[in-house]
Amino acid sequence: MENNSNNSSNDEFTKVDFKDGTQNCKNFFSSFFSNPIKTLKIISQSKHNLFFNTSIIILLFWVLIMFFKALFGTTYSSNGLYIFLTAVRDLTIPIISVGFMALIIYCIDPNKDEKCNLTNTLTSVIVCKIPVIIASFISLINLVSNKAYYITNPITYFCISLSILLTYFAIKYLYKECEDFKSFKRFMVVYGIFYGVYLILSFLGIYMV
């Protein structure tokens, strides 16, 4: 009797938790696609890690896309180990890109007394990568057609530009900076360090987006 009661409670908790998670995802995407800049501002000011769980799901989706592209995009090689290692390397691209960017933003925060929240920083960076993730998903058609890059390349460049622009606003809000020129300087410093790290890692065959 007691076991039935416990099982019932667990089932009810799972239903509520799943329902809340689904609603949170809906709220996020509705907010982001209607006003991405406002969404970044809300995330930066959140004291309850708003949309963090949703951002982790988005990151995992990006990792899955990269793994799929690497796994099926190296069919020219008959070496199974090479294909697997390439796939493993490529699936680290989203994690390294997001991790380094979030760490740089957090570490050089000029507000020593009230540093930006690391969780909010990570969430903001992942959200800024959504256009890149969309471009990565669309680029999967390159696996089907050799001519698809005529379409996918312009989309990719456009989405990368959007991602960089969103990152500027994320930095502005995370640093609570009102002056545009100071925000721009911080933005340039963050990206200068990021691409400096990118240059070093590229010699090791590791790339960031």
CA distance 170 to 155: 22
* Domain-embedded: residue 27: no
Burial class (CB in 10 A: 0-12, 13-18, 19+), 201: middle
In a domain, 177, yes or no: yes
pLDDT of residue 172: 95
For residue 2, being part of any structural domain is answered with no
28 lies in some domain = no
Q: Decide if pLDDT at 52 tops 80.
A: yes
Residue range 33-49: mean pLDDT, rounded: 93
Domain carrying residue 48: 35-202
For position 82, what pLDDT does the model report?
67
Residue 21 confidence (pLDDT) = 65
Please indicate, yes or no, if residue 10 is contained in any of the structural domains. no
Q: How confident is the model at residue 15 (pLDDT cuts 50, 70, 90)?
A: very low
Residue 7 confidence (pLDDT) above 60: no
Q: What is the mean pLDDT of the chain?
A: 84
121 closest CA partner among 103, 95, 108, 96: 103
Q: What percent of the chain has pLDDT over 90?
A: 56
Query: Cβ(92)–Cβ(98) under 8 Å?
Result: no
Query: Would residue 30 count as lying in a domain?
Result: no
Q: How many domains does the chain have?
A: 1
149 located within any domain: yes
With 0.75 as the threshold, say if the pTM is over it. yes
Instruction: Give the containing element (helix H, strand E) for 1.
Output: none
Nearest to 98, CA basis, from 58, 39, 40, 54: 58
Greater pLDDT, 152 or 70: 152
CA distance 177 to 97: 24
Cα-Cα-Cα-Cα torsion 143, 144, 150, 155, nearest 10 degrees, comes to -60
21, part of any domain:
no
Question: What secondary structure, in 3-state letters, does 87-113 show?
Answer: HHHHHHHHHHHHHHHHHHHHHCCCCCC
Q: What is the Cα–Cα distance from 80 to 75, expressed in whole angstroms?
A: 9
- 75-96: per-residue pLDDT in tens? 555 566 666 777 777 788 899 9
For the chain, percent of residues with pLDDT exceeding 70: 84
